[in-house]
Structure 1
């Protein structure tokens, strides 16, 4: 029963409830935690990319004043972290990731031993005293080396260093389609390896609670229950004996939605010493030895008819996943995502794709905001642009002829897309850029010899992945559902507990908006609890834009159940049927006599303090729980991005002059929060398009270990962003909301790259790789020097 309200909170940009605490320094992050007798840990890390460990000498480490302990893999005897797919060995090869490397290291920075000391500085001194001897092996540092017939193997069981090799789709007759097509265009694109770069690096504080007979691990993770599961397995404890708590978290972006090794080793040290132990990752380790993402290589072609309508799409995708599979998603996370979703928003009638994950001697890969979609959208959009040039069509018009317009639409990739505004967002984006005068300014600038380009990107963001969608990947661990509990205390205040995990998404505000509307209570009286594995049976955390679509739906269902119980108690007191009651602001009232009402406080006191007055069919207390899952392919947000760039001849710099985002995430619970997600995501997408990249030398040494080398855009490089909203409600989430967390990142690289190529049109040069460096742009803009005559 919906409450009677004229001031609904869902859909309003109410102020973020988190901000007063976080902006005044009253947030509590992992590094803020101080416990009596706490020790500090740091890790001895491999200095070679590939080698056998022949000796680990920690004797001098233990002699450093203030060092209390130092442990190797042999000392701790921990179980390995193993992620699995239910696929045959010719499609997927599992790899065991040891918590501490025992006999072999596979990337620079891999943890070999943990040092525990009285303070973090002494722990670092202890690390420097460690002596590790290696028998070095040739490192595998790129795709060509990895796939060579005589390749050195990173894992002996993985032939040609291939962990995943899957052909998901192959339309019959596709070769004939390409042979007979009026136009066939090709794109070969490579994208740079990136770091998700959350403001707060990883960290953990662990201690043993004798009273509860329980290991308590406080860590900044997006997936606390999965950390609990893995920690219990590695430490050989019952899950009941492990409690994971997440304090405030300064960003995650996917990097923290996998289980790391250092958190487990920190917990093991605390368990062994029976003392609290803290580990905080420094920025050098975060840049070079943490999980990375995005290094992908696409070889793609598309067939079009003479009118610019796509006939077929054929692609080969190779993703460099580094040294190990991440838990729980495995090395399949990037190639399987890209292969399944490459057709995107376009009506592709024929499709063939091969997706591979290779292993190299680099830090392993984890999901990063958008997970392959920034890359495969960039490739699809480059194909559209190239076809438009070949067929002499306007780049917006060729998209109009190919975007999905009738819903639900089942694509060649066997996905069913729920209703969206693909064409509408494209039209509105173009109109917004035209109304802002960018096309006229571009024409005038080009006449003056300046290089200004306009580029577009059309895409969908698959969100609300349920267990059915994840099961299609054949994961051994299948995320999807979410649990929620809503309870009211005797004062009428409400506490909400969910399995999602905020790391900057404003859940304390948006979840409270959903509950306040569902129950008819004041927003200030709703409190959210997340990130404690002892508070809720199981939760899958926050990733893949699932929190509001899935978690918010579970919260809405639980709140509705609690509302029904409030009405049932009131109905029993009045002696009427519950259907004759309705929720109002802070009370339940009678439909036939609106002035007759009982406050939530009155009803709560009855439920808890006067339960003898309740009918036998109503249990004491005011608690309700619910679970929500999605049984189909999920829901699809969509957007169109438009970028305006200028290329500067003297420096090769790419300046973004304007940026427009037209987004549709269904019902926006809080439009201001959605805009924040868009702007932050676009900034990260621009970073990948123009700045950020981790490279490796021939010995497997990473190039970027500080911000001197890892180029991050500042506010100066990020333009003002115009955001326009469309709304196509989702029909099967409880609030009509779709996900909004990753769309900004997904669309930005393609829009920027297409704008750069539009600016280069007069040169005849086309770029397909990111990041786009100033050197590359400078070479494209600078004519070759004339040959000297003798």
Structure 2
């Protein structure tokens, strides 16, 4: 069978245009924060807590200040910085408001928490100054698990959260749930745990700040996914007008959600630069990135699911507990994981009744930020194991259990009050199964089992809600409500176009895909389009890039801006050519008459009139060629969907899991650049496999993290990655301008559940199922031999 081809409705949209970023990045011409050198530049590092939980009795920086090369050292009392406060508009019983100080001033709550900033002439002198600092603590017993945090009498991390709970919400409790369990033919009970992970972008966090005296402006270079939010938080913290802060993002080496929250270090560097009057640079080292940066994913789901005899999914109840670490991140708050999980289950499945409780719990660990997929990898893992177990208990094919319950009629309003736009949930499952069968893996599995080998096949069906608009975030009751995006577009005298977007690329090929949108919209060559991102002085406001929003929302704003500019070109041309608007069309970088196609005005000719011969413009048309447009999703957003499958083999001697083959059928609507979409899928699957089999941050009883280097934090290499076969379906989004649905997180969302399902399928003859990730060789070996995990 041939793989489905993507449609191509235009000269560039739908084409795998070569990435325009690659020549610069592959030849070493990229410009990252650490590449920027400013006159008089100083360097910063942080004095960090060496205890997980304690009261600061004294911070002695005298020896630090006397260290050769050190220019200044500041503790919390030396720099006036307001704390970072992430808030939800919910009552106290649902949300406990707490603050995160930029520098800890009375209490430390995790190892690695910043206490003071040291500014020196060289990075090495800054490190020497950090070593010379002396901090005296009154230490407390560290709280390193949610069970300990929730235990009666546990010491509180924050006065504002007396029970160590940041968020406790029960979003749904529909009538008839208990009755559905009573009449169910089978009840599946399951507890799923996932380990704590680091998003691990190639480029660590960084900041380079300088005070521009001429502009009375603090210029902050930092690799953030959300430059405007960093500007807002920085201005509020250091007490200057927002116009007095400019955030610039150069090239960025990955983000994955870790960089879509505001960090404390960036603000401290900005405040220190303003104080010393010279540029200050901070580059996070890998140890701090692994231990003291934002983490994610540590969650537990305790669930029951009720099924009828024919496999109908009758009812589902779940208790979700998320270990959010020591602080609530800005702007999403500690509710980011439990609210995502509670609000978006049951995913792609129809369901009769639903009850859920979601909690965000404070512990003495580095705080949690969004990470690619945000809870969806975990709840998809849960749901897919439930579907598999329901099949076993009902003696049905688990794929048929899925088919019995997949949403197939659209638009569909689920039990979670979310309306799903058209998708291809059943079609993706059918095609994925067909691909597995075509390659003979079910027959190979049967042959292998007859030989005593342990081969398993796992599937995961899921959706990815993308393009969250303002209404979706408002439903979470966030006081900072992301959603819209704004785009500016300008044509210069030579007919070239510069487009500015509020989104922020950190590897997603925006310079290529946004240019494709503009090139199609204006009917000019893509080489004549330039994209600007990551400068808060260039665009009114934007919410950056996360949750697969760039193509869905940012791309729609870009397309609307290009359309508005095209209308201006047509209006001027109609006046100059003395014809009606409907007799004109944009084509090949010109405006052509329809009745006499050879008669045209090039964009350069129109631009010359717009800029240099304004007296020839139509009455009421202003000089210049510039347009601005905004876009927001007013409904529940749009849903990409996919089905993934994996074939694994278990080594009975070592417990090692080898992935023999991987399949993915995804539908992200209109793929602006299919090659980019495939890259996103492959990269996402790799990160999902990492979470399924390799990566975990653990802590000892004193709150000491286990992974200070890559010697301890196990990340997969290319050798561990399987051969991935991809196929594409296309169900265009009906709610935006581009038809794109977003493709950034889908690969990761499905991979964890797919791998766990395959491992458990291989373990079926043993009668033991695993319910925790990462899946360790020790756990697999114990399951195969009946030993202790």
CA apart distance, 1:173: 2.0
Deviations 1:303-352 (A, max 9, x none): 00000110011000000100000000000000000001110000011100
Deviations 1:554-610 (A, max 9, x none): 000000000000011100011112121100011000111111110000000010010
Report the equivalent of 2:386: 383
Alignment of 1:441 onto 2:444:
yes
Report the equivalent of 1:41: 44
* Residues 238 and 181 (structure 1), Cα distance of their counterparts in 2 relative to 1, 3 Å cut: same
CA apart distance, 1:443: 1.2
SS at match of 1:159: coil
How many angstroms apart in 1 are the aligned matches of 2:188 and 2:633? Answer: 37
Report the equivalent of 1:261: 264
CA apart distance, 1:444: 1.2
CA RMSD of aligned residues (A): 0.9
Pick from 191, 204, 207 the counterpart of residue 204 of structure 1.
207
Pick from 227, 231, 244 the counterpart of residue 230 of structure 2.
227
* Residues 784 and 108 (structure 1), Cα distance of their counterparts in 2 relative to 1, 3 Å cut: closer
Deviations 1:617-644 (A, max 9, x none): 2111000110000000000000000000
Report the equivalent of 2:566: 563
What are the residue-to-residue correspondences of 1:406-485 with 2, within 5 Å? Answer: 406-485=409-488
SS at match of 1:368: coil
Pick from 667, 671, 674 the counterpart of residue 671 of structure 1.
674
How many angstroms apart in 1 are the aligned matches of 2:159 and 2:435? Answer: 55
How many angstroms apart in 1 are the aligned matches of 2:488 and 2:728? Answer: 32
Report the equivalent of 2:514: 511
How many angstroms apart in 1 are the aligned matches of 2:585 and 2:459? Answer: 49
SS at match of 1:168: strand
Pick from 330, 341, 346 the counterpart of residue 343 of structure 1.
346
Alignment of 1:606 onto 2:609:
yes
SS at match of 1:390: helix
SS at match of 2:327: coil
CA apart distance, 1:6: 8.8
How many angstroms apart in 1 are the aligned matches of 2:525 and 2:134? Answer: 61
How many angstroms apart in 2 are the aligned matches of 1:245 and 1:776? Answer: 46
How many angstroms apart in 2 are the aligned matches of 1:114 and 1:454? Answer: 52
What are the residue-to-residue correspondences of 1:259-658 with 2, within 5 Å? Answer: 259-658=262-661
SS at match of 1:160: coil
CA apart distance, 1:784: 5.7
How many angstroms apart in 1 are the aligned matches of 2:377 and 2:236? Answer: 35
* Residues 689 and 6 (structure 1), Cα distance of their counterparts in 2 relative to 1, 3 Å cut: closer
CA apart distance, 1:615: 1.5
Q: TM-score, normalised by structure 2?
A: 0.98
Q: Which 4+ stretches in 1 moved above 3 angstroms?
A: none
Pick from 48, 52, 55 the counterpart of residue 52 of structure 1.
55
Alignment of 1:78 onto 2:81:
yes
Alignment of 1:101 onto 2:104:
yes
How many angstroms apart in 2 are the aligned matches of 1:64 and 1:619? Answer: 61
How many angstroms apart in 1 are the aligned matches of 2:440 and 2:488? Answer: 51
CA apart distance, 1:7: 5.9
| 8 Å contact kept, 1:347–1:403 | yes
Alignment of 1:732 onto 2:735:
yes
Report the equivalent of 1:120: 123
SS at match of 1:82: coil
* Residues 270 and 784 (structure 1), Cα distance of their counterparts in 2 relative to 1, 3 Å cut: closer
Deviations 1:533-565 (A, max 9, x none): 000010000000000000000000000000000
How many angstroms apart in 2 are the aligned matches of 1:564 and 1:409? Answer: 36
CA apart distance, 1:61: 0.5
SS at match of 1:495: strand
Report the equivalent of 2:4: none
Alignment of 1:9 onto 2:12:
yes
CA apart distance, 1:211: 1.2
Deviations 1:56-93 (A, max 9, x none): 00010111110000000000021000000000000000
CA apart distance, 1:39: 0.3
How many angstroms apart in 2 are the aligned matches of 1:161 and 1:98? Answer: 18
Deviations 1:455-503 (A, max 9, x none): 0000000001000000000000000000001110000000000000000
How many angstroms apart in 1 are the aligned matches of 2:222 and 2:582? Answer: 46
CA apart distance, 1:157: 2.2
What are the residue-to-residue correspondences of 1:49-198 with 2, within 5 Å? Answer: 49-198=52-201
How many angstroms apart in 2 are the aligned matches of 1:260 and 1:534? Answer: 21
SS at match of 1:315: strand
CA apart distance, 1:749: 0.2
CA apart distance, 1:720: 1.1
SS at match of 2:660: strand
How many angstroms apart in 1 are the aligned matches of 2:489 and 2:787? Answer: 69
Report the equivalent of 2:717: 714
How many angstroms apart in 2 are the aligned matches of 1:308 and 1:167? Answer: 27
| 8 Å contact kept, 1:652–1:775 | yes
Report the equivalent of 1:788: none
CA apart distance, 1:448: 1.0
Report the equivalent of 1:696: 699
Deviations 1:622-673 (A, max 9, x none): 0011000000000000000000000001111000000000000000000000
SS at match of 2:772: coil
Deviations 1:178-235 (A, max 9, x none): 0111110011011000000000000010001111110000000000000000000011
| 8 Å contact kept, 1:193–1:693 | yes
How many angstroms apart in 2 are the aligned matches of 1:392 and 1:215? Answer: 66
Deviations 1:21-59 (A, max 9, x none): 000000000100100110000000000000000000001
How many angstroms apart in 1 are the aligned matches of 2:179 and 2:112? Answer: 49
* Residues 602 and 777 (structure 1), Cα distance of their counterparts in 2 relative to 1, 3 Å cut: same
CA apart distance, 1:159: 2.5
How many angstroms apart in 1 are the aligned matches of 2:32 and 2:166? Answer: 36
Unaligned stretches of 5+ in structure 1?
Answer: 786-790
SS at match of 2:720: coil
> Number of residue pairs matched?
781
CA apart distance, 1:428: 0.2
| 8 Å contact kept, 1:139–1:152 | no
Q: TM-score, normalised by structure 1?
A: 0.98
Report the equivalent of 2:764: 761
